Amino acid sequence: MKEIILVYLDRSGGLEKFVHDCKKYNDSKQSYAVYRFIISINPSDIAELDATLGNYILHNPIKAAGIFQSVCFIAVKTLSLIEQLQTEAQISILLKPTHLPPLPSYVLSLSAFPFNYTSRRFYMSEGIVIAMGTVTKYTQGARFLCTEETCPFSEGFRYIRVHLPGATESATVRNDFVCGLCSSPLQEDMKFRVLGDKQVVEMIDAKVLNALKGYSDHKSHFRIQTFTVFLR
């Protein structure tokens, strides 16, 4: 699958963009714990190259991102794209599909029962934005060091915390992490914290328009509820 990813990135122009993004990181004077890359992918094209990889992308994108992460790390090291990069964990990959299959199971509809969205995969959702919060910062990645000076993990990039979709801020940064080698507390190296922008959006199903227009579906009553979307 790693070879297939490399072939796809080369054909789609993703490899050229990746090299360009690496150059920006390499030329930057800022220190990074995490190097974040957004990779646009066409699930249909990948499925034609390798059905298993295409299935991972559609139904287990976190696992698929891990495979892309490994490929990108090898590319960085082989081509010497980022001199400061030390470990694979420092690479964060965000897969951005160009589209999803036009099938009902890929549409997130909170007005349809039963709710069966237990899978952490991609869904399409359509609605009306009725409120937007202000843009605030969140932690995309952080570096932690063991507080025991004699521990080998008191330096380097052994402990990297990266934000995953659906996770809270405390899952990435808090003060109760411990070293897996000596069980000493871990402390964040603040100068390596990587921040990003997030915005909270309140949405409502597009079917509310019918209710506002006075249309009746012959039901005695109905309820319309908003849902919250985090844009990162």
Q: Which domains does the chain have, with CATH numbers?
A: 1-104 (3.30.1640), 139-193 (no CATH)
Q: Which residue has the higher pLDDT, 221 or 131?
A: 131
The structure tokens listed for 197 are 């922008």
Please report, as a single letter, which amino acid is at residue 142.
A
CA 128 → CA 23, 88, 102, 142, 210, distances in Å?
A: 39, 40, 21, 35, 13
User: Any idea what the Cα angle at residue 73 is, between residues 70 and 74, rounded to 5°?
Assistant: 90
Q: Given pLDDT bands bounded at 50, 70 and 90, which one contains residue 209?
A: confident
Q: Which residue has the higher pLDDT, 210 or 88?
A: 88
What's the predicted TM-score (pTM) here?
0.86
Helices assigned H by DSSP within 60-168: 61-79
**From the CB of residue 67, how many other CB atoms can be counted at a distance below 10 Å?**
17
Mean pLDDT of 23-33: 89
